[in-house]
Amino acid sequence: MAVRLFALKPECFPKLTGWATLSWRTCIYERVREAAKKQARVYAVDLRSDVLTKPTPAMRQAIMDATMDDDVFGEDATVNTLQQNVADMFNKESALFVPSGTMANLIAVLSHCNTRGLEVLLGHQSHQMIYEQGGLATLGGVHPRTMFNLPDGTFDLDHIESNIRPENDSHQPVTGLICVEDTHNVCGGVVLPLDFLTKLRKIADDHKLPVHMDGARLMNASAALDIEPKKIVESIDSVSLGFSKGLGAPVGSIIAGSGDFIRRAVRLRKALVGGMRQPGLLAAAAMVSLDDMIPRLKTDHNHTRMIAEAIMKASHGLVHVDLNRVQTNIVLIEMLKGFSAQFFLNRLEEVTEQEEKDIGESISVGGHPSTHWVARLVVHSSVAAKDVEAAIKKITYVLEEMSHMDPEKTYVHNSRLM
């Protein structure tokens, strides 16, 4: 957009007559030109989400060299290799490549709950409950029942037991599945404790229930715990993994589980319009992400920690970050003293003439409101060390600026929370 604006000439504006009109057109042109030049000077650090990663040169080359055969017929060699590699990585019987994480989770739930009217137990702050368009109920006829997420992303184990429905009561739906999320997005990228998963497995076995894990950022959990992912999911029946978040691939997710589970999933993928004829180029990028991007996740985690500690150092009592919950690549910033998350994020994105003079450069930092009073920053593979330094510089400046504002005034900006 900046380049197009910069290229505008006065003659591009409507051709009207008169000296005043010509002056008006020239004035508008000069303003647009100046705005474009200013925008070109801005150093932008986008921390809204790790879905904003760009494919690496190695991924782009793999896309160019990929096979282009039909996956609905099961004939694409790259897709088949990817699925087998992921199944082996998780120590599961089989795996299935799908277009998105939302579809992966929906397919998984419907494959387990293959009778309408069953109930799934999941966290009240889970991605499946909040951000997946209610697909479980809308498309699957599955009734979601929420359990309170604790700050570490788990639930009270006694609460799980008490929420499993009695099968002999015809008034109530039948519990068909338990879902967990690792790492947990809304809880700040925290990693589920392994002992929680082990105890959950015991409860599920006692009631003959399967367990599904939304593992969109599971490799972040693996990196944080410094263990193989198969150790995390050994007590899990099915798991989804996203390639387009921290792993940096452009498109795609995968689900893994038993052979029977995946055979049902193949049919569900087709019904949900997820069958892809020639997705080898997408699978090729995902293959590279598993080979190249997993080792650098710890770098993302270190960068995240640097930002979180810098925020607390410069907080002026205006914001708070629970450093114990900064375990992977997400920072949750709790707003205090009446400042809303959107106000803070708007100021991080904005560049003023005064700050250009004070810090000697124009820095814009993108973030996302998790709630009205909590801002979220997410670090990813497209964020380099110099970007982290710039982000810290801007955040520190903005917090210093806010410390001189009236603390009794409430700065609230409405926003759609996504």
Does 285 map to a domain?
yes
Q: How far is 144 from 118, CA to CA, in rounded Å?
A: 9
Residue with the two structure tokens 């003659």: 11
Shared domain check, 92 and 228 = yes
DSSP 8-state secondary structure symbol assigned to residue 95: E
Residue 359 belongs to what domain range? 2-24+39-52+296-402
Shared domain check, 192 and 45 = no
CB 110 within 8 A of CB 271: no
Model pLDDT, residue 35:
52
Model pLDDT, residue 16:
46
Burial class of residue 293 in the structure, from the number of CB atoms within 10 Å of its CB (0-12 exposed, 13-18 middle, 19+ buried): buried
Of the residues 252, 275, 293, the one at which a domain ends = 293
Model pLDDT, residue 9:
47
Does 29 map to a domain?
no
Shared domain check, 216 and 102 = yes
Shared domain check, 19 and 103 = no
Does 322 map to a domain?
yes
Does 250 map to a domain?
yes
CB 370 within 8 A of CB 334: no
Does 33 map to a domain?
no
Q: How far is 18 from 289, CA to CA, in rounded Å?
A: 60
Q: What is the pTM of this model?
A: 0.88
Residue 118 sits in a domain whose CATH number is: 3.40.640.10
Model pLDDT, residue 167:
85
Shared domain check, 148 and 167 = yes
- Residues 6 or more apart from 80 whose CB is under 8 A from it? 74
CA-to-CA dists, residue 263 to 6, 27, 78, 208, 215, angstroms: 54, 65, 19, 21, 20
Does 196 map to a domain?
yes
Shared domain check, 300 and 265 = no
Of the residues 235, 264, 293, the one at which a domain ends = 293
Residue 359 sits in a domain whose CATH number is: 3.90.1150.10
Residues shown for the chain:
418
CB 196 within 8 A of CB 207: no
Q: How far is 416 from 368, CA to CA, in rounded Å?
A: 10
Shared domain check, 311 and 264 = no
DSSP 8-state secondary structure symbol assigned to residue 292: I
Partners of residue 256 on adjacent β-strands: 95, 239
Q: How far is 37 from 301, CA to CA, in rounded Å?
A: 34
Q: For each successive 10 residues of the chain (418 residues), what is the average pLDDT?
A: 37 49 52 54 95 95 94 94 98 98 98 93 97 94 96 94 91 96 97 98 97 98 98 98 97 98 97 94 97 95 98 97 98 94 96 93 96 97 96 97 80 52
CB 210 within 8 A of CB 112: yes
- Residues 6 or more apart from 314 whose CB is under 8 A from it? 395, 396, 399, 400
Does 129 map to a domain?
yes
DSSP 8-state secondary structure symbol assigned to residue 128: H
Shared domain check, 363 and 270 = no
Shared domain check, 114 and 193 = yes
Report the domain count for the chain: 2
Q: How far is 4 from 384, CA to CA, in rounded Å?
A: 28
Q: How far is 181 from 164, CA to CA, in rounded Å?
A: 19
Q: How far is 324 from 288, CA to CA, in rounded Å?
A: 32
Shared domain check, 310 and 385 = yes
Model pLDDT, residue 67:
87
**Residue 404 tokens, joined:** 């001189």
Instruction: Give the relative orientation of helices 77-90 and 280-288 as an angle to the nearest 10 degrees.
Output: 40
Rg of the chain over CA atoms, in angstroms?
24
Shared domain check, 221 and 353 = no
Q: How far is 358 from 282, CA to CA, in rounded Å?
A: 45
Model pLDDT, residue 410:
59
- Which amino acid, one-letter code, is at 198? T
Does 413 map to a domain?
no
Of the residues 264, 293, 322, the one at which a domain ends = 293
Q: How far is 46 from 131, CA to CA, in rounded Å?
A: 21
Shared domain check, 263 and 185 = yes
CB 96 within 8 A of CB 262: yes
Residue with the two structure tokens 């069958």: 275
**Residue 67 tokens, joined:** 């096979």
Model pLDDT, residue 338:
85
Q: In what order do the strands lie in the sheet with 211-215?
A: 94-98, 253-257, 238-242, 211-215, 174-181, 118-123, 143-147
